[in-house]
C-alpha cells in the first residue's frame, strides 16, 4: 500500500510539474525570444562578469551592473546604429523595387546576354528552358529576400512599443542571470530527472554549442558580412550595408556561406564590363571573406562541438524556418543534444552488454 501510494504521489507531482510548466510557457510565450537571448547573453558574457567580480569581490550587483554597461556600450549601441542604417537602406531598396527602378530579372538578363552564344544555347537546350527558369527563380528569390527583410524592418518600426518592451525584458533578465547564473545553472542540472553524470554531460554540451554558435558562427558571420559590405562600398554598389547583412546571414550556413552573395555579384560585374570591380569582389571573397572562417573560428570556438557541417546546415535552416532568428542557435543546439543523447544511450547499452558478458 505504501509503495502504491508513493507511485501515485510521484505521478501526481510529475503531472503537476507538466501542467504548470506548460502554463508558464503559455504565459511568457510573448517573451520567449527575449528570454532565450537573455539566457544566451548571460552565458556568453559570464566570463566577463567573473572578471568584474574578481575586481570587486563580494559585490555581485556592482559586477553585474558594470558588465551590463559594457555590453550596452560595446554591443547594443553599435548594433542599434548599424540596424538603423540597414533599415534605411532596406526601405530605400524596397521602394525602388516597387517602383521598378530595381529589376533583378533585367540584371540576370544582362548576365545572360554577356555569355558566349554557345554557352547560351547549351543552357537553353538543357531542358525546359532551364536557364530562363533559373533566372526567374533566382531573381524572385533575391527579390523576396530583400522584400522580406525590408518588411520585417518596417514592421519593427510599426511595433516599436512591443519591441522595446521585449528588449527591456531581455536586458532586465540578463542582469539577474549574470548575477545569479552560478546558482541557477547547477540547480537546473541537479533538478533534471537524469543521472548526475548524464545531466552534467548534457549541460556541458549545451554550453559548448551555445558558445560555439555565437562566438564562432555568429561573430565569424558578422566579420564576413562587414568585409563584404566594405568590398561592395569600395566597388560602388548601392546599399552596401544591406548586402553585407545578407552576406552575414549566409555566413551562418556552412558549405555555402557568403559565396552565394559575392559570387553572383562578381559574375554580374564581370558580365556588365566592370572588370576591376569584379576582380576586387572575387579577390576579397576568396582571400578575405573566405579565409576569415578558417582563421577566426578556431580562435573563437576553442574546441570542437562534434556537429557535422551538414547537420549544422540543415538544423540552422530548419531552426530559422521554425522560430525565426533564434533558430540560428536553437537549430544547431537541438542537433547537438540529439547526438549527445544517443551517444549516452549507446554507451550505457554497451556498458550493460559488457557487464552481462562478464557475468
Both 166 and 222 in one domain: the answer is no
In a domain, 4, yes or no: no
Both 126 and 221 in one domain: the answer is no
Both 100 and 176 in one domain: the answer is yes
Both 175 and 212 in one domain: the answer is no
**Interaxial angle between packed helices 240-251 and 77-99, expressed in degrees from 0 to 180 and rounded to the nearest 10:** 110
- Whose CA is closest to 229, among 210, 246, 208, 206? 246
Domain ends where: 191, 215, 238? Answer: 191
- 260 close to 320: Cβ distance less than 8 angstroms: no
- Whose CA is closest to 342, among 191, 202, 200? 202
Task: Say how many domains are in the chain.
Answer: 2
Both 179 and 208 in one domain: the answer is no
Both 274 and 315 in one domain: the answer is yes
In the prediction, which pLDDT does 128 show?
A: 39
Both 73 and 182 in one domain: the answer is yes
Residue that has been written with the C-alpha cell 527579390 in this structure: 143
In a domain, 7, yes or no: no
pTM for this prediction: 0.68
Task: Name the helix (H) or strand (E) containing 233.
Answer: helix 219-234
Both 202 and 168 in one domain: the answer is no
Both 107 and 242 in one domain: the answer is no
**Phi and psi angles of residue 231, each rounded to the nearest 5 degrees, phi first:** -60, -45
Cα–Cα distance between 94 and 106 in angstroms, integer? 17
- 92 close to 239: Cβ distance less than 8 angstroms: yes
Cα–Cα distance between 314 and 252 in angstroms, integer? 11
* Residue-averaged pLDDT of the chain: 76
**Structural domain for 229, as ranges:** 195-354
Both 112 and 223 in one domain: the answer is no
For residue range 226-281, what is the model confidence (pLDDT) as tens digits?
A: 888 898 888 888 778 888 888 887 777 766 678 888 888 887 777 777 788 888 88
216 alpha-carbon distance from chain centroid: 10
In a domain, 347, yes or no: yes
- 30 close to 165: Cβ distance less than 8 angstroms: no
In a domain, 102, yes or no: yes
Both 84 and 104 in one domain: the answer is yes
Both 283 and 169 in one domain: the answer is no
- Whose CA is closest to 262, among 223, 216, 229, 292? 229
In a domain, 13, yes or no: no
In a domain, 26, yes or no: no
Residue that has been written with the C-alpha cell 559488457 in this structure: 354
In the prediction, which pLDDT does 69 show?
A: 92
Domain ends where: 191, 206, 238? Answer: 191
Flag residues of the chain having pLDDT under 70: 1, 4-5, 8-9, 93-161, 254-256, 297-306, 352-359
In a domain, 16, yes or no: no
In a domain, 25, yes or no: no
Domain ends where: 160, 191, 222? Answer: 191
Amino acid at each position: 500500500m505504501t509503495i502504491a501510494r508513493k507511485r501515485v504521489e510521484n505521478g501526481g507531482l510529475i503531472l503537476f510539474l507538466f501542467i504548470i510548466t506548460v502554463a508558464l510557457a503559455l504565459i511568457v510565450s510573448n517573451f520567449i525570444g527575449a528570454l532565450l537571448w537573455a539566457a544566451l547573453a548571460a552565458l556568453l558574457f559570464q566570463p566577463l562578469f567573473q572578471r568584474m567580480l574578481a575586481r570587486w569581490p563580494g559585490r555581485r550587483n556592482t559586477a553585474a551592473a558594470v558588465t551590463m554597461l559594457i555590453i550596452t556600450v560595446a554591443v547594443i549601441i553599435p548594433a542599434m546604429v548599424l540596424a538603423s542604417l540597414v533599415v534605411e537602406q532596406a526601405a530605400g531598396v524596397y521602394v525602388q523595387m516597387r517602383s521598378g527602378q530595381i529589376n533583378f530579372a533585367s540584371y540576370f538578363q544582362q548576365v545572360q546576354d554577356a555569355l558566349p552564344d554557345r554557352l547560351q544555347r547549351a543552357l537553353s537546350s538543357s531542358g525546359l528552358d532551364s536557364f530562363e527558369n533559373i533566372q526567374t527563380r533566382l531573381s524572385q528569390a533575391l527579390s523576396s529576400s530583400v522584400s522580406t527583410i525590408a518588411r520585417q524592418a518596417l514592421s519593427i518600426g510599426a511595433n516599436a512599443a512591443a519591441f522595446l518592451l521585449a528588449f527591456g525584458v531581455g536586458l532586465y533578465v540578463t542582469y539577474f542571470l549574470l548575477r545569479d547564473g552560478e546558482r541557477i545553472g547547477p540547480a537546473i542540472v541537479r533538478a533534471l530527472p537524469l543521472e548526475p553524470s548524464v545531466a552534467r554531460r548534457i549541460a556541458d554540451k549545451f554550453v559548448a554549442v551555445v558558445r560555439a554558435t555565437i562566438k564562432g558562427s555568429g561573430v565569424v558571420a558578422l566579420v564576413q558580412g562587414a568585409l563584404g559590405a566594405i568590398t561592395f562600398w569600395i566597388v560602388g554598389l548601392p546599399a552596401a550595408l544591406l548586402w553585407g547583412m545578407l552576406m552575414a546571414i549566409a555566413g551562418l550556413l556552412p558549405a555555402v556561406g557568403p559565396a552565394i552573395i559575392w559570387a553572383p555579384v562578381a559574375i554580374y560585374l564581370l558580365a556588365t564590363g566592370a572588370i576591376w570591380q569584379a576582380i576586387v569582389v572575387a579577390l576579397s571573397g576568396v582571400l578575405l571573406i573566405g579565409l576569415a572562417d578558417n582563421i577566426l573560428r578556431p580562435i573563437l570556438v576553442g574546441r570542437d562541438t562534434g556537429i557535422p557541417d551538414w547537420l549544422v546546415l540543415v538544423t540552422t535552416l530548419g531552426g530559422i524556418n521554425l522560430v525565426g532568428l533564434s533558430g540560428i542557435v536553437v537549430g544547431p543546439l537541438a542537433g547537438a543534444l540529439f547526438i549527445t543523447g544517443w551517444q549516452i544511450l549507446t554507451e550505457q547499452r554497451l556498458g550493460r552488454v559488457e557487464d552481462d558478458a562478464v557475468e
